Structure formats: C-alpha cells, structure tokens
Amino acid sequence: MSDKRLKVIVTRRLPDAVELRLKELFDTELNQSDEAFSADQLVDAVQRADVLVSTVTDQVDGRVLSKAGEQLQMIAQFGAGVDNIDVQTASERGITVTNTPGVLTDDTADVTMALILAVPRRLHEGIELMDAGKFDGWAPTWMMGRRLSGKRLGIIGMGRIGQAVARRAKAFGLQIHYHNRKKVSRPVEEELDATFWDSLDQMLARMDIVSVNCPHTPATYHLLNARRLELMKPDAFIVNTARGEVIDEAALANAIKDGKLAGAGLDVFEREPAVNPDLVGLPNVILLPHMGSATVEGRVEMGEKVIINIKTFADGHRPPDRVIPAIL
C-alpha cells in the first residue's frame, strides 16, 4: 500500500509539529475544532479512513467497528491505554491497532508523586487559605498534615509507571509495597526494596498511601470497591492517575465523608469528564483535570510514535507498537 495515498483521519487536535508532519506524509484530515467525535462522526471516519488516529475520548467499540469500511486497516491510538478500543473485534476484522507506550511514564509518575506529596501535607488547602487571605500567622497546630518518610506506599500495578512512582517515592523515604499480576524481576525488587503482596486485600489493610497505576480492564473495573475501601486504615490516602473506572467513586466519596479514609488525589474519573459531585469541594480531596501526561515533550513524542507506527505499517512492516488482543 502506498503511504502517499493513505487517508488518515485524526480525531483530536495534536501538537502543531505532529499535525504538520502527518500532512506531509499522508492525506490527513484534521479536527480543527478539537471537539471529541460523536459516535456518528466516528462511524463516518472509519467508513472513509485507511488509518484512524484515535484518542482516549473515542469509544471505538464493536458497534463502530461493525460499520467500518473495508479500507480501514489501522487504528493508531494517540495514547498508551487502549481500553476505549475493542481490540479483539478490530483484530478479527483484520485491523491493526497500535498505541504509544513508554512515552508518558515519567510525566505521569511525576504527577502521581505530586499528589502523594500534596494530599497528606494538605498543600491545596494551604493554597486556598492563602488565596482567600485567611493566613493570620503561624501556630503550633496550624495546618498539620502527615509525614511521608517511613510510611508505607502500596502500588497497584507495577508496570513502567508503577516502577517510576516507586523510584520517586523511595527517594522520599517511603516504604515500597506492590500488588501486581505477577512479581517483578528480582533486580527491580532489590533496586526498589519492594515487597510483593499476592493478596490485594491484605496489602490495602496495611498501607498508609495507595497509588493506582494499573490499566482499566474488565478485571480491574471497580477493583477498589466499597468492600476493599473498608479494609483500609482511616488515616490512609488514595491516589489515582491511571483510570477512573478502577475505583468505585461513589464508595470512595462515602468513605472519605464518613471519616473512613483520610483523603484522595484523583487525576482520572469514572465517567470522565463528569466528576462525582460528592467528591467536589471536599477539603481533603484534590481533583485534577486528567493532566498527568500533559507535557509538551510528552505529547510531541506520542505524536512521533503515532507517525512511526503508521509509516512502518504503510511500508509493509509490523508497527513497533502493535497491540495484541488479550487471550480470554
């Protein structure tokens, strides 16, 4: 297939340099409005495109793919997660799916660590007090938070980002614990001085801070449900920069309001962009607008990976970041 004739449809605005390069290489149709595609717009796109450049806001499910034209040969996801794409159905229809792994590891881990610091130390509350002009001077019991050094951090999902979080947290004196589908290699465990927990329930009951760094899959949907949140200590904190669906937001809000958890830092939400109203305004909760991976450098690198995947595919080779469907 000649890449000069490739019809590439991009669903959201990308960095200028990335869009320019896409237009140079392919017959590229950009989304100048940057509004998320509706289901009908996605159907129209897959009926016309050779390659769809999708993002996490696009639900490329079985219904959309069932209406795809025979010319659609590739879905190049601008992002590491592909839970918005029915990869199994795409594979059955002969459509190659790629993503952009590894690029955003440090960016996401930085924001995770920022929340791990900010929530226990009540930094956002301090900022709000200063903005409101309510600082009347230092006092011994004023704005007391929790010390990080020596506390136990439980990481759910010890992949690239989980390990990057662990490295940062270790530098702050946190003890590293983790729950994963399987243990990481011995050299990694030794480097991080990390303790593996086969039982998530047992780990949760003993942690001071829990960081969610696993993908959203059917197996991880509401992994942290009301029952598991009940296991946690009342002075424990939760940070989530992975996927909102991993936590039952209603149960989390209830636990925090009832004093069964000390607080939370969330960059992702169960029904994004909607946020559970019971979480809004809580003094011990920090809510961020899914900005964990939002750096100029990261976004450009993501775009470069998308281009490499498309170009490699167009040249008749296997894309470096091809996503293989999970074996059920």
For the annotated catalytic residues, the residue numbers are: 243, 272, 290
Query: How many CB atoms sit inside 10 A of residue 150's CB?
Result: 9
* Both tokens assigned to 103: 């690029």
Phi/psi of residue 273, each to 5°?
Answer: -85, 0
How many other CB atoms are found less than 10 A from the CB of residue 217? 13
Distance between CA atoms of residues 55 and 30, nearest Å: 13
Q: Are 189 and 165 in contact (CB under 8 A)?
A: no
Angstrom distance (rounded) from CA 160 to CA 219: 19
Helix axes 16-25, 296-314, angle to 10 degrees: 10
Report yes or no: 230 and 255 within 8 Å, Cβ to Cβ.
yes
Residues contacting 44, CB < 8 A, separation 6+: none
